[in-house]
Amino acid sequence: MSKKYDIQALLDEIHSEIVVASQAFFAWKSIHNVAAKDKCIEKALNNNALSWNIYLHSLQATFFITIGRIFDTDSRSCSIHFLFRYCKDNICEFKKKSLKKRRIKEAGKEPDYLKDFIKRAYEPSQKDFKTLKKEVTRVQTVYETHLKPVRHKVFAHKDAAHIHDTSLLFKGIKIEDVEDILETLYKAERVIRDLYENGHKMNFGYWELKEEKYIL
């Protein structure tokens, strides 16, 4: 990976993808939950079934296509795996010296706080990134087993062998698994960003995906 990339830009791109996937999923979930709890709303949705089916299909398609991009293992794709590889290959960007240069560049001069700030900053090792990657690998396995078949055979492509039984492909997908995947991806990106921007030691348990609270 000889080409030089801006880690901040990579983080922003992955974060944007995670937000899109999260918003699409939680909007879809919210519509179903609201309709299940309120018969009047369910009736209203059924009275406009064509429109709502289009909306729900669009949300599903957005989620599955986006989550596929995030987990894409192609070395040319900007995915969560690309982000990890690039950060590991350019771990010098996470050193105190590099963090100091970025802070001075942002401020236009050396801020008064910088000396103590850099002194407290954490410098990660390859082991840190390897430990963090294990969390992503765990949910990647769930994606590969249950979500990827739907993404590839229903949304990204239309597999002729499954045109009459697409429901079987969806059968293994659990709401809690999807939420775990989104939460884990969000935390992984936040941890790397916090380390890159603030020199904070990796704390996976600190972060919480709150996107569902912003939907409807």
Please write the tens of the pLDDT for every residue from 140-168. 999 999 999 999 898 888 878 777 777 77
Average pLDDT of the chain to the nearest whole number: 91
To 5 degrees, how large is the angle CA 197–CA 104–CA 9? Answer: 40
Residues 6+ apart with CB under 8 A from 22: 182, 186, 209, 211, 212
Neighbours of 185 (CB within 10 A): 26
Q: Does the structure show a pLDDT above 80 at 20?
A: yes
Please write the tens of the pLDDT for every residue from 33-61. 887 777 787 787 778 777 888 888 999 99
Cα(50)–Cα(29) distance, integer angstroms: 18
Q: Are 118 and 99 in contact (CB under 8 A)?
A: yes
Q: Are 182 and 209 in contact (CB under 8 A)?
A: yes
Mean local confidence (pLDDT), 171-198: 95
Q: Two tokens at 13? A: 């791109």
How high is the pLDDT of residue 216?
60
How high is the pLDDT of residue 43?
81
For residue 145, the 8-state DSSP code is I
For the entire predicted model, the pTM comes to 0.90
